[in-house]
Every structure is written in structure tokens, then in C-alpha cells.
Amino acid sequence: MNNTYQLVRQSAALFDFSADGRFFLQGAGAEEAVNAIIAADLETTRELKALNTLLLAEDGSITAILWVLKSEDGIWVLCDAKQRSIVGSALNAAALNHNVECQDRTESTTCLVIIGPAAQEIAMTAAGEDIIGIPYLGLEPNTQTNSLLCRLGYTGEFEYRFITERARASELENQLLTAGSSQGLERGDLSVLPLLMLEMRSLDQNTHIPSGISPIEAGLHWMVSFKKDAFPGREAIMTRKISPVEKALILILDGDVAPTTDVPVLIENNAVGRCVYLAQSPTLGKTIALAYVQADLAWVGVIFEVTGQDARAVSAPLFITKTVTAGR
């Protein structure tokens, strides 16, 4: 795990996201079908751009975190593997209502991802120098890798996703590893991603977001278009926006704590929340945690107690990444 962490923060690692859900909708009503179920407004997203948004339950809680890709020939919807079934059901129902085709392409495609400060240079070697012009949240078909190439990301480092036919998975992996050989590119361990994400205040749905949490509590309100007239969970989320019960905070602890979950957060020996994730940050040399705390106490600078240690609520990102520093 630590080797993958260092690769992502110092060079680059290659990840296989092929287990994640990938759906493709095409037809005249494809955009309308997807827009009917997501919390953001796809109509404001241009072609060859990506939108990071949510599928909400009717009570306003988070059902799935989505990437919606507006390609030249249709709409891609990407989700975590665990949410594939429920996302597929929602998309199929919306597609039926709008008379468009929805294809589950999870099994027929693969998704390989390069993440790290060297990811852009590696992607240019594999896919051509022109890809340097792809902006964050941009995408384009790439002929050199025969893939849909997307520049997304949650870790504060460069991230390039290559989506191609499953039959080409080994060929593409070898192409990328060869392109990154001089940079020490290696296959990465997916289990390190929640830590890399939390350092930048990005949330992994399965690790950081308990069942029943809304985007208001999680701090993901920016994924919701509150001016949008209709989407599943809209009425509930508007109510929860007015009076949230708890909110997510990142805490930095004074000492080391073994990785664990559901640890009480205290003030003057009174429980005011719970940590759902704790891990050691190699860059900071300290334990960081994601906690859900009483809304009226959820402020940066407040000092809580976790496992007998002071835990200060901090803003994010927790540090400036090598990717950002190199770009200045």
C-alpha cells in the first residue's frame, strides 16, 4: 500500500478500474434520460466534457457518485462497482421513458487509469503529445490507444482514464506500462485510493459515506444543481439543506491511531460525532480522519477528542501536491 502511495504522490501508478460500472446511452433523448435521474444539470455541460454528480434516493441520501461523460456519439455514466446494479436500473427506466438505448458496457469494456504527477507525460508518450490540450474534466477519442481518453481525478494529481474494448485490455496495459517504464510506472493497489482522496477532501463512497448520508452532510453539495426543477430526492435535499443534523469534517490527530472506523468524537467527554475513517498520511506523518460531527460544532479550528488525543478540524486540501507545484 505504501509503495502505491509513494508512486502516486511522486511519480505515477497504473490502476485497473474495470470492475466499476460503465453505461452508455445513445439516441436523440440520451441526454434528457440521464439528466432526469442525476442531481446536477447535464444541459449546462458541453460536448467532450465530464460532469461529477450524484444519484440520490428519495430521502435525499446518496445512492451513487457518478461521472457523466458527454462524448460525441452518446453519454457515458460511470459508477462504483457496488452501485452498478442500482445505477443500471435507474438508467434503464429513464432510457425506456425517453425511448433511447441504454447499454451496460461494464463487461465489454475495460478502464485503465494512470494517476500521479508523471501521468500526463506518460499519457503523452502513449497517446500522443496532443493530449496535453485535454483540460481537467475533458475527454476525447484517442486513435493511438484506440480508447476514450478522459482527464478526471480526485487525488490532486494528474489522472488519465483510458476506456477501451475488454478484448484489448492486455494490449493497452502493456502499451501504458511501456510508455511509463522510464518513470517507474507500476500497477497500483486500489485500497490506497481512499487515503489519497481524503487528503484532497474527495470522498470515496464505500469508505467515507455511511448509508443515509446526504450531499449536505457529506459536503458534496457542489455536485447538486439546486436550481434544477426536478430530480430524484430534490424535495428532501432542499429540506436537509436548511437544517442538517451533522456535517463531515477532516481531523488531524496529534498521535498515531490504528486504522479503524466508528470511533466516537468527543468534546468535554460528550459524544458529538463519529469518525468513519482513520489512516496515517505518509506526507503529513500524522493520522487523518473523516468524522461526521454535530452541525453546530462542525467548524474548522475546533479541537475535538478522539481516542484520548486532540483532533483538530482542518480545511483541505491538506497539502499542495507535486502535480500542482510543478504546474506553477
Q: Tell me, what's the pLDDT at 96? A: 96
Grid cell digits, residue 67: 461521472
**Residue-level pLDDT at 256:** 77
Question: Quick check: bond before 232 cis, omega within 30?
Answer: no
Mean pLDDT of 45-69: 98
pLDDT at 202: 98
Report pLDDT for 13: 98
pLDDT attached to residue 112: 98
Return the pLDDT at 254: 82
**0.75 cut: is pTM over it?**
yes
> Shortest CA distance to 130 belongs to which of 117, 143, 119, 147?
143
For the record, the C-alpha cell of 70 comes out as 458527454
Q: What percent of the chain is modeled with pLDDT above 70?
A: 98
Instruction: List, for residues 147-167, the tens digit of each pLDDT value.
Output: 999 999 999 999 999 999 999
CATH architecture of the domain formed by 245-328: Beta Barrel (2.40)
pLDDT at 259 over 90: no
Domain 2-190 - what CATH class? alpha beta
What was the pLDDT predicted at 2?
82
Q: Which of the four pLDDT bands, split at 50, 70 and 90, describes residue 255?
A: confident
- DSSP three-state, residue 2: helix
Q: Among 122, 207, 208, which Cα is nearest to 159's?
A: 122
The mean pLDDT value for 117-129 works out to 98
Q: Cell for 53?
A: 454528480
- Write phi, then psi, for 37 (nearest 5 degrees): -110, -10
Tens digits of per-residue pLDDT, 292-323? 999 999 999 999 999 999 999 999 999 999 99
What is the model's pLDDT at position 171?
98
* Of 26-35, 198-207, 255-264, the least confident: 255-264
Question: Would the pLDDT of 257 be above 90?
Answer: no
Q: Using CA atoms, how far apart are residues 301 and 304, in angstroms rounded to an integer? A: 9
Q: What is the secondary structure of 156-199 as a DSSP string?
A: SS-EEEEEEEGGGHHHHHHHHHHHTGGGT-EEPPGGGHHHHHHT
Domain map (residue ranges) of the chain = 2-190, 245-328
Give pairs for 169-176: CB < 8 Å, separation 24+: 169/18, 169/110, 169/112, 172/110, 172/112, 172/145, 172/146, 172/147, 173/14, 173/16, 173/112, 175/126, 175/145, 176/14, 176/112, 176/114, 176/122, 176/126, 176/145
Q: Which pLDDT tens digit goes with each residue over 165-209?
A: 999 999 999 999 999 999 999 999 999 999 999 999 999 999 999
258, pLDDT greater than 80 = no
Per-residue pLDDT of 59-116, as tens digits, reads: 999 999 999 999 999 999 999 999 999 999 999 999 999 999 999 999 999 999 999 9
pLDDT of residue 116: 98
Mean residue pLDDT of the chain comes to 96
Is the pLDDT assigned to residue 133 strictly greater than 70?
Answer: yes
DSSP 240: H
Report residue 149 CA to chain centroid gap: 17
Q: What is the mean pLDDT of residues 229-250?
A: 96
